[in-house]
Each structure stands twice: as structure tokens, then as C-alpha cells.
Structure 1
């Protein structure tokens, strides 16, 4: 029997179901889903744009850059960087993000959710557009939850990032689980589209960086404002 004192997912109140209970595995994005780090990444991109003397509006940033792997964006979006070797620029962006790591905040309920899933022995995969160094720092230092994650897929592990489904498909293969039997949580339209294209059975959008309408239009069946247990009834 689940101990409601040890498992926050069990403290939902009468008539409230747990949308994660039937999932063979839970697939989680990291930035924007587990931690509030978009301000760090936005500042990193801003420095990159300043270097190239390029202006990018907030609307364009959200449509084109938010939640995506920098390598994919620079290969796709034309600019003064087109045709150049962006290796040094990408390394500088990673280093700048690492310098700002102390500004990252935890999404309410994230740590409790990870620990509850671990106690239930429910596999968790984190699939992020960030590099492995950043991901390890967030999981180890910010969330103190590295032991709760069964599989970690980062930018270095795939050839094409979100909205392509490759990262989530790889996570499911490593977990030995069909995507249709999983539940995924994402904060950006590109991430939601990646889950949908991977064939993930249930998709929950978290509205930390995008509106409910944007996430539903991308393929989320439901949305929550954060990861606190009292909001999960909205995801049913």
C-alpha cells in the first residue's frame, strides 16, 4: 500500500485520480519543466545575438529558439553565422550558461514529484535540449535528484533535437518501453511536438514558458501551472 505521507501523489483528495499512475514511464523535459532556467538561456542567446549584431524579437525567440537545441537552430535559421564554424560560439554559450547556473530556480513540486516516482519504482527519463554538463549540474546540484532519473538524454546523444522525436524515442528504447505507454511533460510547443511525433500516449503541458493554448495546439491533452500535486487533477 502506498504511504500518503511518503508519496505526495497519493495525497490528492477524494475523487482525484493520478494521471501518472498508469504510465509505464514518465518522460520529462528539464529546462522550463523541472527548473526555471529560461532567463539564463535567454541571456545566453542575447549575448550570442549581440556578438553577431542581430536583433531577435521576443515573439521570434519564442517561435524559433525556445526549447530547442542551439545546434539545430543555427543550422536551420539563416544569419551571419550561416556557413561558419559555430563550434566555438556554441561552447561559449554553454560556458556562459554555466556561469549563470546559480540563477536557476526549481519548478514548484519538481523535487517531490521525482522522489515520489522513484519511490513508486516508476521509471523516469529526462530528455533535454541542453548539453550533458548543464543537465548533470541541474540534476545533481539544483534538484539533488540524480538518483531518481533512470535515463538521461542530452543534446550530445542525438543527431536532431526537438521538435524532432529522436530524443524521446531514444529514451523509450533505453527504458525498454513503448512510447504509447508513457506520459510526457513539456513546457514548450517544440517539446510537445517532439512528444507527439514520438507517439507518446499522454502529453501534459506545463505553462511555465508557454500558454495553455499554445501547448494544446502543439498536441498537449492537458496543462498544469507547475508540478505540485494539487494541480495534477487538471491533467486528468
Structure 2
């Protein structure tokens, strides 16, 4: 039997495990619009997708001159969590894909732990991950820095070269590549068209681009040591 190339699959959360990006961007743009900052959904996706709240706050201040206060953050979280509880859905096929994986897996997201656990909880996925939940709040630098993925690999006891990252955002794809991991770009989310993700992601040459989560277990099985699908 050939040696396995992948001993750990690291999932992003938003846009990969759950279809949350349209909700998240809509809430953020809604709140800042109330303070006079009007950003189109397309621009919102381009600027904010895959970024930590800290980075988003810094970007809004630098590019649009709006200081995001603690009141803004509280309002964003309250609206977001309410809509997640009401509307959030899992990515089609993800539960079956997780059940079929033959290697351990975890989630590493730019979101805070509370939001990750809420997202996975309301979509019925939290039990599959248990305590294997990692947030950018646990590291110094969020995506596109590699810190979060390297932290997750260390915590799970796996060398970076033997990890496969499933990501949808340019920031996350860059982070996974800088971490020295296999990079699988999932482009099946409902936000892919509005965010112009396919063009942006394919230009980054990840190891593999796919749009049906049901394919993931077989794609992981096909990876051989040193192999790339780029």
C-alpha cells in the first residue's frame, strides 16, 4: 500500500463548511452603511472575504475613514448571530464528506471561537469537530499569514507538509501555501459568483480547484507524497 500524503485535513469554516459569506457581508455592509459608508456587495467580498474582524476593522478605518467602535462590533455580532440561527445552512454534501474522510480533520477560521461554534452548532456539524476548533484569535497574525494553519497543525501533531487545507478565500489560499501545505480551493459556495472568486482563485494556482464537496474524500485519497494537482 502506498504511503499517504495527507494525515490531516484543515477546513476553513465560512464558505467551506457553512454557507455564511452572503449573510456575513450583508450584515457588515448594513451596519457601516448606517454610518454613511456605502460599499457594494462585490467590493465588500473583495475586501473582507477570509479576513479576521481585526483586519476588517483596520481596513474600514484606513480606506473609508470610519472608526469601528465596540458598539459597532456588538451590533454586528448581534445581527449576525441572529441571522445565523435563523438562516445559516451547511455546505451541501459536507456532512457526508466528513463522515467519509479517512484521516483526522479540524477547522481553522478567521472568526472567533464563539462564532465558529455557533456556525457549526446550528448546522449540525459541531459534533464532528469536537475540540478541534482553531481561531485567528489564537495567533499573532491572521490570514494571509500562515500562523493559524501552522498552529492548527502543531496542535493536531501533524507536519505542515502532510496537511491539506480546504479554503475558499484568496487570503486563506495564500496562508495555506505559505504554510507549506496542500491547497484545495473549494468554489461551490453561493458567494463565489458575486465575489468573482473563480478568476481570483485560479490565478493563484492552488493545487486543486473543485466545486462539489462530495468529491473531497476521493481527492484526498488520490494525493500521493510530493504530488500536486496545480
For Structure 1 versus Structure 2, the TM-score category normalised by the shorter chain is 0.7 to 0.9
Match among 80, 100, 106 for residue 125 of structure 1 = 106
Match among 88, 109, 119 for residue 104 of structure 1 = 88
| SS at 2:203 equivalent | helix
Number of residue pairs the alignment of both structures matches: 210
TM-score (norm 1): 0.79
Does structure 1 residue 60 correspond to structure 2 residue 40?
no
* Consecutive unaligned residues in structure 2, runs of 5 or more: 223-228
Whole-angstrom CA distance in 2 between matches of 1:73 and 1:183:
26
Whole-angstrom CA distance in 1 between matches of 2:142 and 2:76:
17
| SS at 2:14 equivalent | coil
Q: Aligned-pair distance for 1:182? A: 0.7
Does structure 1 residue 137 correspond to structure 2 residue 118?
yes
Whole-angstrom CA distance in 2 between matches of 1:157 and 1:131:
9
Cross-structure match for 1:178: 159
Cross-structure match for 1:151: 132
Whole-angstrom CA distance in 2 between matches of 1:186 and 1:39:
16
Query: How big is the alpha-carbon RMSD for the aligned residues of Structure 1 and Structure 2?
Result: 2.4
Specify whether residues 91 and 157 from structure 1 end up closer, same or farther in structure 2 by C-alpha distance, changes over 3 A only: farther
Whole-angstrom CA distance in 2 between matches of 1:223 and 1:231:
14
* Consecutive unaligned residues in structure 1, runs of 5 or more: 1-20
TM-score (norm 2): 0.81
Cross-structure match for 2:66: 81
Cross-structure match for 1:218: 204
Which deviates more from structure 2 when the two are superposed, residues 70-79 or residues 172-181?
70-79
- For residues 45-66 of structure 1, give each alpha carbon's deviation from its aligned partner in whole angstroms, at most 9, with x where no partner exists: 1122213211213332222111
